[in-house]
């Protein structure tokens, strides 16, 4: 129950931050990526604000015996720079550039422009399913 409530609070804060920061407007996101044209730097402030808060949170982690509401930390441990990581990130960037949406804003926008956001989200889940079922449990 505490996991569910904590997850919901995190999601609500996250969605509110995306909407307030302008990330749920694909035109603004594409404006941020348009550095050779009519550049809109707003998203640099969004990322900066988020990274500063999280940098503080990461400093707190080593001082904790465990997370506040569950048994232990489940954090990524990989450190190798693989072709899969770089190729996947490159592909993601292409999709981000085409529509100006990444996963969080796509899902949050379901209440802003439901039909458009739903097309993106369903296609995204289909893409995830493609990876899942072509690679099985290894992904």
Partner 1 sequence: MTLPGFPEAAPLAGLVGGVLIGLAAAVMLLGLGRIAGVSGLAAKAVGLGGSGIVSGGAWMFVIGLPLGALVVMLASGGIDATFASPAALAIAGLVVGIGTRLGSGCTSGHGVCGVSRLSARSIVATLTFMATGIATVAIMNALGLEGL
- CB of 67 vs partner 1, minimal distance in Å: 3
Tell me the C-alpha distance between 54 and 59, whole Å. 9
Tell me the C-alpha distance between 68 and 62, whole Å. 13
- CB of 22 vs partner 1, minimal distance in Å: 6
10 Å Cβ neighbour count for 100?
22
Residues in the chain: 139
- CB of 15 vs partner 1, minimal distance in Å: 3
DSSP state of 39: -
């Amino acid at each position: 129950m505490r996991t569910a409530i904590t997850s919901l609070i995190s999601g609500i804060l996250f969605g509110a931050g995306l909407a307030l920061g302008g990330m749920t407007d694909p035109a603004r996101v594409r404006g941020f990526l348009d550095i050779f044209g009519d550049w809109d730097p707003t998203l640099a402030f969004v990322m900066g604000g988020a990274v500063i808060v999280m940098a503080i949170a990461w400093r707190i982690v080593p001082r904790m015996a465990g997370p506040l509401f569950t048994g232990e930390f489940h954090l990524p441990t990989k450190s190798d720079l693989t072709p899969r990581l770089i190729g996947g990130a490159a592909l993601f960037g292409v999709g981000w550039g085409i529509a100006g949406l990444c996963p969080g804003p796509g899902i949050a926008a379901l209440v802003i422009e439901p039909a458009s956001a739903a097309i993106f989200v369903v296609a995204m889940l289909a893409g995830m399913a493609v990876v899942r079922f072509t690679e099985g449990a290894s992904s």
